[in-house]
Amino acid sequence: MSQVPLNPDEVTRYVQESVLYFLSQHSKNSTIKRLDYAKAILTDTGRRMQNEVIKQTKKVLKLIYGLAVIEIDENVKQYLLVNEIEHNPLVPPNWSESQKNEQALLLPVLAVIFMNGGSIPEGELWTFLLELKIISPSSRVHDKFGDIDRLLKKDLVAQRYLIYEPVRQVVDDDRDKLYEFRWGIRAHSEVSNEKILRHVSEVLGREITDFAEQYAQVSSQQ
């Protein structure tokens, strides 16, 4: 007998709430009891939903924040968040919380653009953010990052971190593929491709040489 698919909107909502919960506990440098976490976020959810939410939460925390979730099996099951990356290469330590949040989202966006060859169709970027549970199928507003659509298409474009413009050659009628994102002049000035490649490698637990095309590009710029 096949299982009923989990509701993607519910999964996304629980993941977003879980990320905020884990980050708030991490700021206190305390371990997180699974029972407390479940009571706070996952009340009245089944085991399948809980396992999926925890899996996706770990993915988001690692890719966006560079935090690994370590499970501690003692008398009471607990989680511990560990910094895997020294710091976000885009964020100076004296920035405000809102600035840090904005740049926390910008980093993976710049990374996926770079790893995609320098540009990414709008539809593919939304798919990427959907996989990270930053957006949901029904909403592009995030509790921590705010209006993602406005942030990417207007705010970060105005700051010259991103370029959002029509694709020169349209291959079909899918509107999301009519526009693409690329690095803006400020991103090129402030962020090195090598730092982005090293960030991606650290997050994925790979060597930078594993990404032959990107490594060749970085090497040619040195």
CA 196, distance to chain mean position in Å, is 14
Q: Which residues does residue 165 pair with via DSSP β-bridges, in sequence order? A: 180
Amino acid 121: pLDDT: 93
DSSP string for 131-180:
HTTSSBTTB-EETTTEEHHHIIIIIHHHTTSEEEEE-SS--SS-GGGSEE
Amino acid 182: pLDDT: 96
* Beta-carbon count within 10 A of 187 CB: 22
Is pLDDT above 50 for 8? yes
The residue behind tokens 């490698």 is 201
pLDDT band at 125 (very low <50, low <70, confident <90, very high): very high
User: Exposure pattern of 93-130 as b/e (b: 16+ CB <10 Å)?
Assistant: eeeeeeeebbbbbbbbbbbbbbebeeebbbebbbebbe
Q: Virtual CA dihedral for 98, 104, 107, 109, nearest 10 degrees?
A: -90
Cβ-contact 134, 106 below 8 angstroms: no
Cβ-contact 49, 25 below 8 angstroms: no
Cβ-contact 211, 200 below 8 angstroms: yes
Amino acid 85: pLDDT: 54
Instruction: Give per-residue pLDDT as tens, 98-115.
Output: 666 777 788 889 999 999
Amino acid 74: pLDDT: 65
The residue behind tokens 């960030």 is 199
pLDDT band at 174 (very low <50, low <70, confident <90, very high): low
Instruction: Give per-residue pLDDT as tens, 32-88.
Output: 888 999 999 998 888 999 999 999 899 888 877 778 888 887 677 888 887 765 455
Cβ-contact 120, 162 below 8 angstroms: no
Average pLDDT, the chain: 83
- What is the DSSP secondary structure assignment for residue 129, as one 8-state letter? H
pLDDT band at 210 (very low <50, low <70, confident <90, very high): confident
Amino acid 1: pLDDT: 47
Overall residue count recorded for the chain in this entry: 222
Cβ-contact 181, 157 below 8 angstroms: no
Rounded Cα distance between 59 and 15, Å, is 10
Rounded Cα distance between 75 and 125, Å, is 42
